[in-house]
Structure 1
Amino acid sequence: MKKNTDLGLLLLRITVAGLMLFHGVAKLSHLDGIKGMLSANGLPEFMAYGAYITELIAPILMIIGLRTRLASITFFLGMVTALFLAHSENMFALSKTGGLEIELILLYAFGALVLFFTGSGKYAVSKSNTWD
């Protein structure tokens, strides 16, 4: 069977970014929880709007394959931020089924990191820029 790395990268982009879009759309109506977390950690509340960049804009760019490497590193940094702000107490906690409590965040983060290193592949809107 012939390898199709570009199709694999497309599926990774659609899966990681597409699933994150649900989180971003859910935040369109409220950011109060994120603002509260930021305030509790001594950070300015306006940083909550970064959730829109991480969970809406970056995933859309990743799906269509436009500046995928830039979008995916932004996405990765957003996931790391969410990990430390909202889930730091669960860093090494196990769920009832034996998996890590933070495994979903890790899958999102490292899926995005893979795309940062590989780029979007040939099934993308743009393939010629360094950040694609």
Structure 2
Amino acid sequence: MKKLLSVYQSANSIDVALLIARVGIAALMLGHGLPKLEMLFAADPVQFPEVFGLSATTSLALAVFTEVICSILILIGLGTRLAAIPLIITMLVAVFLVHSADPFAKQELGLLFLLPYVVLLLTGSGKYSLDYLLHQTEAKPTYSRELAVK
């Protein structure tokens, strides 16, 4: 019981929490992005909101990029902070432009997606990610003959 009430967290528990958040939010967003990907490549005319003066097809293509490609990057933990930025922008556009006249219940989903993306932007992907593996290999010093001579 004491551990449940503790405000101090181990580094491992934070990394596990980031892994769960990353995989969970990415999988949920892929559920929204894959139907849009099908819509983009369908023969039917594109039915999608035109945002910032962009055509419906261009808006849909940008949404597909963020919701599919950026979600996959977050899922595997590659460029997590950078991948979170387009997703944050997409959720802000969805909430404050596309659904601005809708009731809060319609805006709520976009806000719920927005929160973990902001957290991932601030924290990064954690230890269980490709970002961590790539930075570990970069951080290792290489053997140098000059260092051996000294």
TM bracket, shorter-chain basis: 0.7 to 0.9
Contact preservation (8 Å) 2:100, 2:107 = no
Contact preservation (8 Å) 1:38, 1:85 = no
Count of aligned residue pairs for this structure pair: 119
Shift of 1:48: 2.2
C-alpha distance in 1 between matches for 2:60 and 2:97: 11
Contact preservation (8 Å) 2:18, 2:126 = yes
C-alpha distance in 2 between matches for 1:121 and 1:111: 14
CA RMSD, 1 decimal: 2.0
Which one of the candidate residues 59, 71, 78 is aligned to 1:47? Answer: 59
C-alpha distance in 2 between matches for 1:75 and 1:123: 21
Corresponding position: 1:116 with 2:121 = yes
Larger Rg: 2
**Larger relative contact order (C-alpha < 8 A, sep ≥ 6)?**
1
Percent of aligned pairs sharing the same letter: 39
1:61-80 equivalences in 2 (<5 Å): 61-80=73-92
Q: Which residue of 1 aligns with 2:107?
A: 102
Name the one with the larger helix percent: 2
Which runs of 5 or more structure 2 residues have no equivalent in the other structure?
Answer: 4-8, 41-45, 137-150
Using the size of structure 2 for normalisation, the TM-score is 0.71
Using the size of structure 1 for normalisation, the TM-score is 0.80
Which runs of 5 or more structure 1 residues have no equivalent in the other structure?
Answer: 95-99
